[in-house]
Amino acid sequence: MQTKRTVFQSRVLPYFLLAPQLIITLIFFVWPAAQAIRQSFLRQDPFGLKETFVWFANYTRLLDDPDYLNALGATFVFSVGVTVLSMSLSLMFAVCVNRVLRSGRFYTTLLVWPYAVAPAAAGLLWWFMFNPSIGIIPYLLTFVGYEWNHRLHTGDAMVLIIIAAAWKQISYNFLFFVAGLQSVPQSLTEAAAIDGAGPFKRFWTVVFPLLSPTTFFLAVINITYAMFDTFGIVDATTSGGPSQSTNILVYKVYADGFIGLNLGPSAAQSVILMLIVVVLTVVQFRWIERKVQY
Amino acid sequence: MASIDVESVGKVYTGGVRAVSDIKLNIADGEFIVLVGPSGCGKSTLLRMIAGLETISEGEVKIGSRTVNNMEPADRDIAMVFQNYALYPHMTVRQNLEYGLKNRKTPKAEIDTRVAEAARMLEIGQYLERKPRALSGGQRQRVAMGRAIVRKPAVFLFDEPLSNLDAKLRVSMRGEIKRLQRRLGTTSIYVTHDQLEAMTLADRLVVLNGGKVEQIGAPLEVYHAPASTFVASFIGSPAMNLVKGELHGDKLAIGPSMIGLNGFAPTSGAVTVGFRAEDMRIARADEEALPFRLEYTEELGSQRLIHGMIGDQLATAAVAPDAELSPEMRLAIDPKRLHFFAADTGKRLPGQVPAQAKLAPAEPVI
């Protein structure tokens, strides 16, 4: 694509215009990131009076730490769970709304609302609904003979944060899927109908393959979201428990660093997280943008 | 192979908008029918009702002997070629052709033969492994037709299949569609807004306007005896001249001038008079003629279109490319080449259908 080039008279002006964005990035991203990298090579004494340079000791220790490996596993389960759940539900909603002609906008508005809810508020909402003592859902589950208690059962806790995190992400996915579906020409489904494919087959052999760019984009976005943007939800519902079962990486960084005040290893963890983000971003821009086309 | 019967079919959309009303049409097996009309005339809606992509609100559609009103498109034994081709972009050409056959559980060997046959017929054999994206417009059009052919349906439906192609390709593809249809002998319904396409392809034309049939007939029938002023102005290029006139006994008055009709007057009083540009000629000095004030000319090479005014009404005449022009001319016309339409309804006034045999088959000018 050709973009229009603007020629500035002064050499300073363009930098001046870029400055607000650059300053924000430097102060709130580059500087803390640099701090984290520096910190990850240091070890503090318990009182924060002395720091020693320990090379990669923080990292090697992490990889031997069963708690950290457990957090890695939990993060994996969690992010896959959130991605699959939120994407499949939002795809289903999008397909339904796409079929409705008149009230489509109304449903769209309703479905987009959860996105405007702050993560902590969303977490609290689910905390109430799933509360083992006063929540409506555990109460209903007793009728089918299931005793819900995410404070005791590790599985329940994981399900709870997956549902809570997926719920918030459905709105976002939904918008993209609706846009994607609307860009699939109607004549294609009509041609497939004439070609003898039933509604189900039409969707999976014609519509869904054409959505693949949207689907892959959302998969990356959702994994990124689940791994890095779910601190609020975890903090408001399970706080990483019971017995570390929902202690996902991003929560562990916080718990170790700010509650445990173990700054070195916590910094090392954030550096690893940062690397994962970098990899995901590269995957998204390099591989997916090019590969998933038809 | 099947005949199609459209019995008093109408379409009303939710909200009460009426797109098509009371269409009756009997299509013989193997016939090539063209639905033609301006945009919004309901031609596509009618086609889509036959295809099963729109529900039929009134009447009945039969393909062969089966009523298909409540049948799924897939069960109607039809194939459709869409305006935008509607090729599956994520499938190769071969997969596009195979898709309909696979859905119908056709045996693999049979699929391969049919695809090979269609590919040979349409000369797309070398593109079978390509994606539609890598094909030109004309090639995509061929694939779209191939997808219809491999299915060996009873009916082909074409929804403006050539309107996305450039003018030259359109002419050659038009010939190809005609040739294929002749060869396969499949009943076809073809929708277009292009009267030239309609004239050249159709066994019978159905001219639609405002959701109603204006005229059904062979192309030359429609051309030589348009049933209404709408058909007269729609079929043929340049469009038929339509001017207001008045009949006084055996004389026709157009504006201040008056010409004799040699007993061809169908009625008396106010009428709309139609005449084709090519039926006018420059009058000899001793002839009765209409005065024509020349405004501008269009050179077509084989002939020259002269545009101007008869009295205060616009008219166009086609004359020989070497005809002598002057600002004030006199044009003559054979009274039996005049078409008379009721001034109020625009319907053709009966009685004066020119005998076709006597007329040289005037091809429409491109």
Q: CATH no. for residue B253?
A: 2.40.50.140
**pLDDT band, very low/low/confident/very high, at A21 (cuts 50, 70, 90):** very high
Q: Which of A201, A212, A294 sits opposite B103 (nearest CB)?
A: A201
B99 at A interface, C-beta within 8 A: yes
Cβ–Cβ < 8 Å for B34, B46? no
Q: Nearest chain A Cα to B52, which residue?
A: A194
CB contact under 8 A, A191 and B84: no
User: Residues of B numbered 321-360 whose beta carbons fall under 8 angstroms of chain A's beta carbons: which are they?
Assistant: none
pLDDT digits (tens, 9 = 90+) for A23-52: 999 999 899 888 888 888 888 777 777 777
Interface residue B105 vs chain A (CB under 8 A):
no
Same domain, B202 and B71: yes
Structure tokens at A100: 């409705």
In a domain, B175, yes or no: yes
In DSSP terms, which residues pair with A250 in a beta bridge?
none
Write down the pLDDT at residue A224: 85
Which of B104, B177, B50, B133 lies closest to A192, judged by CA? B104
Using CA atoms of B81, B201, B223, B231 in order, give the dihedral in degrees to the nearest 10: 0
A170-179, A251-260, B37-46, B312-321: segment of lowest average pLDDT: A251-260
Considering the domain architecture, whether residues B201 and B169 belong to the same structural domain is answered as: yes
Report d(CA B314, CA B341) in Å as an integer.
17
Please count the structural domains in chain B: 2
Answer yes or no: do B110 and B209 share one domain: yes
Neighbours of B360 (CB within 10 A): 6
State yes or no: pLDDT of B33 exceeds 80.
yes
Q: Where are the domains of chain A?
A: 50-291
Residues B125 and B192 in one domain: yes
Please say whether the beta carbons of B155 and B186 come within 8 A.
Answer: yes
State what percent of residues in chain A have pLDDT above 70: 95
Is B232 within 8 Å of B209 (Cβ atoms)?
no
Same domain, B244 and B292: yes
Is B366 within the bounds of a domain?
Answer: no
Interval B119-148: pLDDT, tens: 998 888 899 999 999 998 889 999 999 999
Rounded to 10°, the helix B137-150/B93-103 angle is: 20
Q: Quick check: is B353 in a domain?
A: no
Q: Tell me if B361 is assigned to some domain.
A: no
Q: Is residue B358 part of a domain?
A: no
Q: What ipTM goes with this model?
A: 0.81
B34 and B173 share one domain: yes
Instruction: Assess whether B65 and B148 both reside in one domain.
Output: yes
Is the same domain home to B201 and B249? no
Q: Give the CATH number of domain A50-291.
A: 1.10.3720.10
CA distances from B59 to B12, B21, B255 (A): 12, 9, 46
- B51 in contact with chain A, both atoms CB, cutoff 8 A: yes
Q: Is the pLDDT of residue B358 over 80?
A: no
Nearest CA in chain B to A202: B103
Is the pLDDT at B361 greater than 70, yes or no?
no
Among B72, B73, B86, the residue with its CB nearest the CB of A185 is B86
In a domain, B364, yes or no: no
**What is the per-residue pLDDT across B331-355, written as a single tens digit (0 to 9) for each?**
988 888 889 999 888 899 875 544 4
Which residue of chain B comes nearest to A211, CA vs CA?
Answer: B90
B115 interface with A at CB cutoff 8 Å = no
Q: Please give the structure tokens belonging to residue B325.
A: 């022009």
Confidence (pLDDT) at A248: 85
| Same domain flag for B284 and B321 | yes
| B177 and B263 inside one domain | no
DSSP bridge pairs for B159:
B191
Cβ neighbours of A195 in B, within 8 Å: 74, 99-100, 103, 147, 151
CB spacing of A194 vs B74 below 8 angstroms:
yes
Q: Given a cut of 60, is residue B243 above it in pLDDT?
A: yes
Claim to verify: residue B191 and residue B269 sit in the same structural domain = no
Q: Which of B74, B89, B131 is opposite residue A196, by nearest beta carbon?
A: B74
Q: Which has the minimum average pLDDT: B58-62, B186-190, B255-259?
A: B255-259
Task: Look at the alpha carbons of B30, B36, B42, B48 in this order and tell me if their dihedral is positive or negative.
Answer: positive
Which of B178, B193, B224 marks a domain boundary?
B224
Residue A135 pLDDT:
85
Q: What's the confidence (pLDDT) of residue B317? A: 92
Query: A213: nearest CA in chain B?
Result: B90
Residues B210, B253 within the same domain: no
Residues of B in contact with A193 (CB under 8 A): 52-53, 72-74
Residues of chain B above pLDDT 70, percent: 95
* Residues in B 75-94 with any Cβ partner in A closer than 8 A: 78-80, 82-84, 86, 88-90
> Model pTM greater than 0.95?
no
Residues A63-104 pLDDT 10s: 888 888 888 888 899 999 999 999 999 999 998 888 876 777
Q: What is the pLDDT of residue B351?
A: 58
| More confidently predicted of A244 and B297 | B297
For residue B242 the two structure tokens come to 């339509």
On whether residue B84 sits in a domain, the answer given is yes
The whole domain housing B139 covers 4-224
Query: What average pLDDT does chain B have?
Result: 88
Q: Is residue B288 part of a domain?
A: yes
> Which of A118, A117, A116, A93 is CA-nearest to residue A106?
A93
Give the CATH number of the domain where residue B54 resides. Answer: 3.40.50.300
